[in-house]
Amino acid sequence: MRKEEIISKLPYSKPFLFVEEISHIDENGVEGNFTFDENLDFYKGHFKDFPVTPGVILTEVMAQIGVVCLGIFLLNNTFSENNSIALTSTNVEFLKPIFPNEKVKVFSEKIYFRFGKLKCKVMMKNEKGEVVCTGIIAGMMVSPPQPSPQGREPKLD
C-alpha cells in the first residue's frame, strides 16, 4: 500500500487531520510528520498571548501517525470506511513545548498487533531533533456491529 493511500484512508479531515506526510512505513513501524499552522483554532486560547500546542493534540498527532497509519498499513486491503479506530490507552510523557509553525516528526515502533489491537512505542521530535514527548499508545480496529438476526433478540431477565 502506498503512503498516499494510507493518508487518504484516515478517518479524519481538516482541522483534525494531523498527518502531513509518511516518510517511512513497514510491518514494524512508521515515521511521519506534521507542521502546526499558527492559525489552528486551539492556539487562540491555549495560552492567552503565548500559544502552546496542547498535550492532548500532541498525543493525537502521535496516535494518528504512530498507531492509525500503521494499523491501516498492517490491515492492508481489509481496512475500509466501514471500520472504526478506537484509542484504548495512552501513557505519554511530555518533555518540551511545541509552538505555532513548528514541524514535528513522529517515530513509532510496533510492540504488538493481534486480535485487532495495535500497541506501539511512540516518540515525537522537534526540528532540532530534540525529543518532545514519548510514550506507549494502543488502539483497536473495530468493525461496525452486525445486525442481529430477525426474531433472535437477546432475552434479558
pLDDT, tens digit, 9 for 90 and up, residues 104-136: 999 999 999 998 899 999 999 999 999 999 999
Is 155 domain-assigned? Answer: no
Out of 31-35, 78-82, 142-146, which region has the weakest mean confidence (pLDDT)?
142-146
* 87 φ/ψ angles, rounded to the nearest 5 degrees: -70, 130
pLDDT band for position 82 (cuts 50, 70, 90): confident
Conformation bin of residue 2: beta by default, left when phi > 0, alpha when psi is -120 to 50: beta
- On whether the CB atoms of residues 118 and 139 are closer than 8 A, the answer is yes
Stretch 9-34: mean pLDDT: 96
Question: What is the predicted pLDDT for the residue at 156?
Answer: 60
pLDDT of residue 70: 96
Query: Model confidence over 31-62: pLDDT tens digits?
Result: 999 999 999 999 998 888 899 999 999 999 99
Q: What is the pLDDT, as a whole number, of residue 144? A: 63
Residue 46 annotated to the active site: yes
Domain-located, residue 81: yes
Residue 12 in this model has a pLDDT that exceeds 80: yes
Residue 147 lies in a domain: no
Residue 31 within a domain: yes
**How many other CB atoms sit within 10 Å of the CB of residue 97?**
14
Residue 107 lies in a domain: yes
The domain total for the chain is 1
For 5, phi then psi, to 5°, come to -65, -40
In a domain, 124, yes or no: yes
The torsion region of residue 44 among left (phi > 0), alpha (psi -120 to 50) and beta comes to: alpha
For all residues of the chain together, what is the average pLDDT?
91
Active-site hit among 9, 46, 117, 119? 46
Q: Residue 73 sits in which domain range?
A: 3-142
Domain of residue 133, CATH code: 3.10.129.10
Mark 104-143 as b/e (b = at least 16 C-beta within 10 Å).
bbbbbebeebeeeebbbebbbbbeeeeebbbbebbbbbee
Q: Is residue 110 part of a domain?
A: yes
| Residue 117 is assigned to a structural domain of this protein | yes
